[in-house]
Amino acid sequence: MSTKKTPRRGASRRGARGLPAWVSGAALAGTFLALVWLEHRRPLRKRVEPRAVHTARNLAVAGLSAAAIQLAERPLVEPLARLVARRRLGLVQRLPLPAWARTALAVLLLDYTLYLWHVLAHRVDWLWRFHQPHHADLDLDASTALRFHFGEMLASVPWRAAQVAAIGAGPVALSLWQTLVVVEILFHHSNVELPADVERRLGWLVVTPRMHGIHHSIVREEADSNWSNLLSVWDRLHGTLRLDVPQEEVTIGVAALRRPSDVTLPRVLEMPFAEQRDAWRLPDGSRPQR
Ligand SMILES: [Zn+2]
């Protein structure tokens, strides 16, 4: 009996470890700093707000979000991923595949279900209240990638737990996907002008800055596209990919919240709880046209 148990315990110990925190932290910090440098060198869009004010505000919003993730998401989702791996729960754990293939499939499915979450964040009124502070940024850069309202982070905890449990994502798949998706989210929010042909090629695989810029448009028909987060394939499969809007014709933000006074730090934090305006109409009531 003990000879049977030992290898299983060994296997579960291996499965219990995700990527070391320093690897994820270094990837995040290194990507952020590299993008900030590139944004200085090759900006894609003209800035609306002074950079220092904008970055400080976004990092303050991000700090509260990080606290919400540490306090609410990690203590629930990480033990759940370990449990899923140990007990072989969820879809991929039941498939007769080698471990690397189970991990790869889990990463794909985590990314697909984040696409679905993003669609819900726009379609479900109370979720949009929490996603809107992210879109209300008048500029789009690497700091916007971190600017999610802490309420959106809290609201996404049950979804994240359901993703892990239903897919059967163990700690390796979860931490690998989280690291890749954060690096990608930093990249596609960044205000970096890549050569158009490089971006076109990259766009076959992952979400790119011009692609995601269209999703941040004040025009609803444009914002209702490009929901993918890591791989762009999900928008291709759903027919929701748009690449036909030149970046210089995109106005970034939420139509109803165009004044700098609408998007100060206190206004951003209270936004989900404040009286809601029709996000897709300008303050004069008209719909923005491109
Ligand atoms: Zn969005």
The pTM of the whole model exceeds 0.85: yes
C-alpha 282 – ligand 1 centre gap (Å): 18
What is the pLDDT at residue 7?
42
Q: What is the mean pLDDT of the chain?
A: 92
Which helix H or strand E contains 207, and what residues bound it? Answer: none
CA 223 to ligand 1 centroid distance, Å: 7
In the reported structure, the alpha carbon of residue 23 is separated from the centroid of ligand 1 by a whole-number distance in angstroms of 27
How many A from CA of 117 to the centre of ligand 1? Answer: 10
Distance set, CA 285 to CA 221, 257, 281 (Å): 17, 12, 5
Cα 28 to averaged position of ligand 1 atoms, centre (Å): 21
> At residue 15, does pLDDT exceed 80?
no
What spacing in Å lies between the alpha carbon of 217 and ligand 1's midpoint?
10
Q: How far is the CA of 11 from the centre of ligand 1 (A)?
A: 39
User: Cα of 52 to ligand 1 centre, how many Å?
Assistant: 24
26's CB contacts (< 8 A; 6+ apart) are none
Ligand 1 center–CA 277 separation, angstroms? 17
- Report CA(89)–ligand 1 centroid distance (Å): 31
Q: Residues, the chain, total?
A: 290
Residue 241 C-alpha to ligand 1 middle, in angstroms? 13
Euclidean distance between CA atoms 132 and 150, whole angstroms? 12
**pLDDT tens, residue by residue, 48-103:** 999 999 999 999 999 999 999 999 999 999 999 999 999 999 999 999 999 999 99
Q: What percent of the chain has pLDDT over 70?
A: 94
pLDDT score at 11? 44
Tell me the CA–centroid distance for residue 245 and ligand 1, in Å.
17
Residue 212 CA to ligand 1 center (angstroms) comes to: 9
Tens digit of each residue's pLDDT (9 = 90 or more) over 102-138? 999 999 999 999 999 999 999 999 999 999 999 999 9
Q: How far apart are CA 286 and CA 88, in angstroms?
A: 54
Distance 130 CA to ligand 1 centre (A): 11
Residues whose CB falls within 8 Å of the CB of residue 85, separated by 6 or more in sequence, listed in order: 12, 15, 16, 93, 170, 171, 172
pLDDT tens digit string along 204-244?
999 999 999 999 999 999 999 999 999 999 999 999 999 99
Q: How far is the CA of 120 from the centre of ligand 1 (A)?
A: 9
